[in-house]
A and B are shown apart, each in its own frame.
Chain A
Amino acid sequence: SQQGEEDPQALSIQEGENATMNCSYKTSINNLQWYRQNSGRGLVHLILIRSNEREKHSGRLRVTLDTSKKSSSLLITASRAADTASYFCATEYYNQGGKLIFGQGTELSVKP
């Protein structure tokens, strides 16, 4: 399968705690993106990190990319109940612009 792998598959934390999700992929990429999905609805784009970038921030989100290990992590700081959702990493492989390969996702539950 071309799909990347994410871990953990499920994560349950208390409000205010940090949540970390990891993603691994297989071959050279143009970029890696993170998406959020609430209850089987559409995907919301969170952040895009290019292959020549190592870290990127957006609000309470921090993404790192290690191309030597073919892995990425998403950190959500000071989690809120509203962050409860499924989070997916997606890779755009080299020379395949417009095609995203998704990981299996991490189901995050933030308890108030």
Chain B
Amino acid sequence: KAGVTQTPRYLIKTRGQQVTLSCSPISGHRSVSWYQQTPGQGLQFLFEYFSETQRNKGNFPGRFSGRQFSNSRSEMNVSTLELGDSALYLCASSLAGRGQVNTEAFFGQGTRLTVV
């Protein structure tokens, strides 16, 4: 079974630009979540999607957005990039569904975003 795939693996963008990251979950997983990892703030939850609906959202500004498609693939977008957005962005998929908890999350290798 293929794991969680994130593309691209590395990205360099200029301040003020926008960026779109992609995540393909494990087949059969309908929950996709996104995390930002930085040396200063650690791993922080961005948002989670299930069946094309955002179920949970972290404390990030509106510049961070996401969506999920009918095949469960997900994208996240960051607009008006700032230097502080430089981070490793991780995507995870799981079987967590409506009323279903206690499921492990499987993570992709991440996208390393550098904003210059």
Which A residues are within 8 Å of any B CB, using their own CB? 3, 30-31, 33, 35, 40-45, 48, 50, 88, 90, 92, 96-105
Q: Mark B88-116, 1 if CB is under 8 A from A, else 0.
A: 10101010110111111111111010000
Chain B contacts of A31 at CB under 8 A? 101-102
A103: nearest chain-B partner, CB-CB: B42
A98-B55, A99-B45, A99-B48 as given contacts; A48 in contact with B33, CB under 8 Å? no
B49: nearest chain-A partner, CB-CB: A98
Partner of A100, one of B4, B88, B105: B105
Partner of A98, one of B33, B58, B108: B33
Interface presence of B31 (CB below 8 A): yes
Question: Contact: B102 with A45, CB < 8 Å?
Answer: no
Partner of A43, one of B56, B101, B107: B107
Partner of B107, one of A42, A96, A103: A42
Q: List 17 interface pairs A-B (beta carbons < 8 Å), by A numbering.
A: A35-B107, A40-B88, A40-B110, A41-B110, A43-B107, A48-B102, A88-B43, A90-B105, A92-B102, A97-B31, A97-B103, A99-B45, A100-B33, A100-B35, A101-B45, A102-B43, A103-B42
A42-B109, A45-B105, A48-B102 as given contacts; A98 in contact with B94, CB under 8 Å? yes
Question: Contact: A98 with B42, CB < 8 Å?
Answer: no
User: Number of residues in B with C-beta < 8 Å to the partner?
Assistant: 33
Which B residues are within 8 Å of any A CB, using their own CB? 4, 31, 33, 35, 37, 42-45, 48, 50, 55-56, 58, 88, 90, 92, 94, 96-97, 99-110, 112
Q: How far is the CA of A29 from the CA of B110 in the complex (A)?
A: 26
